[in-house]
Copies of this chain bind each other. A is one copy, B any other.
Amino acid sequence: MSYKAINLAQKFGLLTEQWQPKVIAEMNDYQFKIVKLEGDFIWHDHKDTDETFIVMEGTLRIDFRDGAVHIGPGEMFVVPKGVEHKPYAEREVKLMLIEPRGVKNTGEEVGERTAANDVWI
């Protein structure tokens, strides 16, 4: 049988829009998603799950109510469930998200930043 690795750079090359996460792989009921971000996201949380950010290019800032974390290329951070956070990117950032299938990017909030879910690339 023929097996093929998933090349992240090749997958990022297929992304045309910012703020639209696309699924590239699944592990059990978790999904690996890639996304390009630039500018401000909204405050939100995920009541039932942690959320992992792994940055490939650029620097992502995630604001919390009591601080912030800067995540640069080759760095990762896990936002604990229930913790309000707001991603921000001064310049475009490429990153991978890991979270359970079905998690909405904006949590309970719905707005212009809410993206279609479970779209593969």
Q: Name A residues whose Cβ lies closer than 8 Å to a Cβ of B.
A: 1-9, 25-28, 30, 32, 49-52, 55, 62, 64, 66-72, 74-78, 81, 98-100
Contacts and interface: CB of A to CB of B under 8 A. Distances in A.
A6 B69 contact: no
A99 B30 CA distance: 10
20 contacts: A1-B66, A1-B67, A3-B77, A5-B69, A5-B71, A5-B77, A6-B75, A6-B77, A7-B75, A8-B74, A8-B75, A25-B52, A26-B50, A27-B50, A27-B51, A27-B52, A27-B98, A27-B99, A28-B49, A98-B98
| Number of copies of this protein chain within its complex | 2
Nearest to A55: B5
Contacts of A69: 3-5
Given A27-B52, A30-B30, A50-B28, A2 B67 contact: yes
